[in-house]
Structure 1
Amino acid sequence: MPTDLSAGSHPVSFRDAQFEPRQSTSRFIADALRAAIVEGALLPGEPLRQDAIARQFSVSAIPVREAFRQLESEGWVTIEPNRGAAVSLQSADEAREIYEIRASLESLAIGIAIEHHTPETLADAKRLLEAAENEPDPALYVVRNEQFHMSLYAPADRPRLMELIGQMHRRGERYLRLKLGLPIHKDSSDAEHRAIFDALVARDIERAQTLVARHLLATGELIHRFLADAQALAQSSHVKKKRRASSRTTSPKADE
């Protein structure tokens, strides 16, 4: 595998830590690969070499295959017969759909949770809001962002709803990083988070639901446009290259 998934200067190894049977091993590998994809260490379309990953983690091929299957079910990895596993390509339509689903789930969750918030849970949400606002590292901001959002909904006491929201957060992690490429987008997200929190404190259910949905739908549309424009540019460049190559092969030879 071309990318060394390392912890500091030492490859991640199970020999240095206690771990449970194979299920925990495969989960650990899946988490490491997912983090590498989110952080851009593994790029869209990049092949994942089962044997190389197994050697790096000092395990057999079995937990690596299980990790691949887990990541495939989450949309991070594509597995094709006779070709193996590769990092899934980014999709403009998938990004938009993820945020559409999040908008529905999270507006529902905050509507249920808002009346159950206490001074303690509001203080916790405010702390996480400020942590996100003050986080300059895009990779860590993704974590802070999820923590803040989940703190808004936790008092709803709907474990299955929270599980679904968590799944959508994980599916959207690498897309969120695209939005954070320019500081202005982080600034706008922080301002929208602050407005959502203010509506929460005011116990204004309708406003809180509207702001959460608007925040997430706008993010989905922004990422969709970014990816769609990038895809169109790449296709245009490919067409131009083919035309230039065709013109070179069909142009008459110079007189000898």
Structure 2
Amino acid sequence: MDRVLANGSSDRGATVQPHHPQRVFHIEILSPRQNAPDLDAGLAALADKYRQIVDAGHVACFTDNPLGNLAFQGTELIQELGLPVRPGQVSIHLNTFHTRRDLDAILDAATNLKIDDILVISGDGSERLPKLRGRDLGIEAETVTSVELVAHLQRTCPGRFRIGVAFNPYEPREHEMEKLRRKLDAGAGAVTTQPIIGQDPSIADLRALGATVIVEAWMSKKLHLLSDCVGYALPADETYDPLENLRTLLRTYDGCGFYLAMLGMKTQFPLLRDIWS
């Protein structure tokens, strides 16, 4: 069985040999904020996490200024920390809160590092994060959404990247599905959901579209943090078991990829080798 890479391709013919070729997770790496109080320690921990992920054959996924907090880019971290890039094992998030100059620099760095998986998201802004404008991309649109950003990548970087996009099942279904169709029409080849608790009927709709579906699992017991991420209040559940939820997702959505957010490297990561059994 070929593993599913970060944004929709197979790894048929790849040279990387993970512990279990069919058991590959996309594991989120939160980039440290640039004003973090103990930045050196944070960078050392990130480098260790990254190496553990890629050595186990998984895909390391770098966020892009999560929740509007100015953070280091994945490409910057890889370059500065001298981290190895293996084919198909690195994915970077890319949102719409950049200047055109910074956007080009990120894409050029990704190309030079041979990173070819990008997850395009709209992102969260802040006063320190300028939003792309239509004229920055040479289009007439007033604002740039993930649809326009996907189209820009396809137009200016044809064939350089496998492009994925996000889907929020907590939004009204028809509205979110229409947005997704526009993203796919613009050239995206894969869909990563917001974290799913248990089961969600929207997954069947996503699979029917023919794109690769990557189901996100919330690996923290703190569901209130998930509420902040998805923008909707979720019911508190003190009995929530992230590992059991992951097992449920694996059983329910066989054939999908799986993205792990907030994974505990000391307590949960060692268990991934046997989680499918």
TM-score, normalization by structure 1: 0.25
Whose helix fraction is larger, Structure 1's or Structure 2's? 1
Greater relative contact order (Cα < 8 A, sep 6+): 1
For the pair shown, which has the larger CA radius of gyration, 1 or 2? 1
